[in-house]
Amino acid sequence: MIPRTLENKLLELSGYYPAVAVTGPRQSGKTTLCQMAYPDKRYVSLESLDIRDFARSDPRGFLAEYEDGAIIDEIQHVPELLSYLQSDIDARPNPGRFILTGSQHFGLSQSIFQSLAGRCGILTLLPPSLEELRGFQTAPDKLYAVLWQGAYPRIYDRDIPAHQWLADYTATYVQRDVRQVINVGDLRTFTGFLRLCAGRTAQEINLSAIGNDAGVSHNTIRAWLSILETSYIVHRLPAWHANIRKQIVKAAKLHFFDSGLVCYLLGIREPEQLRLHPLRGAIFESWVVSEIYKSCIHQGVQPGLFHYREARGLEIDLLIEQGGKLEAVEIKSGGTTSGDFFKNLNRFSDRMKDAGRTPAVNSHVVYGGDDYQQRSNAQVLSWRHANTIIGDFTG
């Protein structure tokens, strides 16, 4: 068990609300976090069939067993319990009585919004950030190993070979979770789609192109991408819009949350394969975006992250809006800084000045090396410190 950044926000919200829900992908550490944060609170899991049947057939009796509150794990298995929980909370609205966990792709948040609106805080826990992973003694310290192994905590907590664990995770996700959400006639086709998406991480989304390669319709790809998003396998990085002269491309970029999963799906079997792999830059870019995303979401803040590309070629990998400021980030997997790293940042900064944007854009380069540089036009950050672009929202 390692300390998680989200614990501070979890404890804060449980001082306000009678219930707090922690959502996120399977195996991100939700149960462990809640038990660490509330070691004296009773725990019950709806994963067990007999407990699930009790909660479903006699919800009032089930809640009476935990009248002083509890951690209720995997709440998505009995979503109707939330309606009864509403009445129970209204009768005894003591802060922090119930801590709920569940997987987002089962519609947990929608059920909470309908049944517990104004009564429940909602937080998201993703797999650990690099900073959190350092709490494991077995955590890697080299870039390619970090990218290849990914961040799911059980790999480190149980010392399971990353390739083996990710293979099992992928099979379970497709065989169990996807089947519960949508009716997929051929799971091999969906698995192929998942691998096609891995090959397009850090690229703009083209539904027709993916559909043609996967052999399914445009609408099916749209629905399947939605499943990947709501189960925290991928996220879309929207295009940033500004009222400037030049036309910009409006397609969102696709990013995987976990680089280890991308490597597994692409058939990368050892870290050193990344050194010459044609998708090394894309995998690194998605990893950096994920690290910055986690820095926001694990402080309970919804990320304001975007990308930018003009039709005539100017691109910025990542734009961050926070506190009225605009942070422009170029992401380069190379280990040596080059003058080319700053070309687009300078052009983008000039665009914003011409458009009359104030304050000026802050420019950053995150690269695959170890040195820090403060240049006149940009801050250069090692991959080890990518998350420092985002400030501390807790102060």
Band of residue 395 on the pLDDT scale cut at 50, 70, 90: very low
- Shared domain for 119 and 216, answered yes or no, is no
Residue 142 has pLDDT above 80, yes or no: yes
Q: What is the pLDDT of residues 227-264, one digit of tens each?
A: 899 889 999 999 997 655 555 778 999 999 999 999 99
Is beta strand 305-309 parallel, antiparallel or unpaired with respect to 315-322? antiparallel
The answer as to whether 261 is a domain residue is: yes
Mean pLDDT in residue range 292-299: 95
Cα–Cα distance for residue pair 247/262, rounded to 1 Å: 32
Q: What is the pLDDT of residue 315?
A: 93
Residues 6+ apart with CB under 8 A from 87: none
Give the residue from 65, 97, 124 where a domain finishes. 124
Report the residue count for the chain.
395
- Shared domain for 136 and 270, answered yes or no, is yes
Structure tokens at 6: 């989200």
Band of residue 394 on the pLDDT scale cut at 50, 70, 90: very low
Q: Map residue 325 onto helix, strand or coil.
A: strand
Q: Map residue 123 onto helix, strand or coil.
A: strand
- Shared domain for 68 and 26, answered yes or no, is yes
- Shared domain for 157 and 81, answered yes or no, is no
Mean pLDDT in residue range 121-149: 95
Residue 148 has pLDDT above 80, yes or no: yes
Number of independent structural domains in the chain: 2
- Shared domain for 134 and 82, answered yes or no, is no
- Shared domain for 142 and 274, answered yes or no, is yes
Is beta strand 305-309 parallel, antiparallel or unpaired with respect to 120-124? unpaired
- Shared domain for 68 and 96, answered yes or no, is yes
**CATH code assigned at 83:** 3.40.50.300
Q: How far is CA 94 from the centre of its chain?
A: 31
Q: Indicate the helix (H) or strand (E) that contains 347.
A: helix 343-354
Residue 180 has pLDDT above 90, yes or no: no
- Shared domain for 74 and 214, answered yes or no, is no
Mean pLDDT in residue range 346-352: 87
Q: What is the pLDDT of residue 313?
A: 82
Give the residue from 278, 309, 329 where a domain finishes. 278
Q: What is the pLDDT of residues 13-31, one digit of tens each?
A: 999 999 999 999 989 999 9
The answer as to whether 181 is a domain residue is: yes
Cα–Cα distance for residue pair 322/365, rounded to 1 Å: 18
The answer as to whether 290 is a domain residue is: no
The answer as to whether 341 is a domain residue is: no
Q: What is the pLDDT of residues 55-73, one digit of tens each?
A: 999 999 999 999 999 999 9
Q: How many CA atoms lie within 13 A of 287 on its CB side?
A: 30
The answer as to whether 242 is a domain residue is: no
The mean-pLDDT minimum among 83-92, 310-319, 353-362 falls in 353-362
- Shared domain for 112 and 153, answered yes or no, is no
- Shared domain for 271 and 151, answered yes or no, is yes
In angstroms, what CA-CA distances link 336 with 69, 251, 258, 331, 383?
A: 54, 31, 25, 12, 12
31 in Cβ contact with 100 (< 8 Å) = no
Cα–Cα distance for residue pair 293/178, rounded to 1 Å: 24
Cα–Cα distance for residue pair 365/352, rounded to 1 Å: 18
Band of residue 81 on the pLDDT scale cut at 50, 70, 90: very high
101 in Cβ contact with 31 (< 8 Å) = yes
The answer as to whether 49 is a domain residue is: yes
Q: Map residue 338 onto helix, strand or coil.
A: coil
Q: What is the pLDDT of residue 358?
A: 63
Q: What is the pLDDT of residue 107?
A: 59
Residue 186 or residue 118, greater confidence:
118
Cα–Cα distance for residue pair 302/363, rounded to 1 Å: 22
Is beta strand 253-256 parallel, antiparallel or unpaired with respect to 234-237? antiparallel
* Full domain range(s) for residue 204: 130-235+255-278
Instruction: Classify residue 43 as exposed, middle or buried by CB count within 10 Å of its CB (0-12, 13-18, 19+).
Output: middle
Is beta strand 70-73 parallel, antiparallel or unpaired with respect to 98-103? parallel
Residues 6+ apart with CB under 8 A from 5: 129, 131, 132, 298, 299
The answer as to whether 110 is a domain residue is: yes
The answer as to whether 339 is a domain residue is: no
CA nearest neighbour of 378 among 391, 360, 394, 356: 360
Give the residue from 76, 108, 124 where a domain finishes. 124
Is beta strand 373-374 parallel, antiparallel or unpaired with respect to 379-382? antiparallel
Cα–Cα distance for residue pair 57/36, rounded to 1 Å: 30
- Shared domain for 91 and 172, answered yes or no, is no
Q: What is the pLDDT of residue 243?
A: 57
- Shared domain for 213 and 270, answered yes or no, is yes
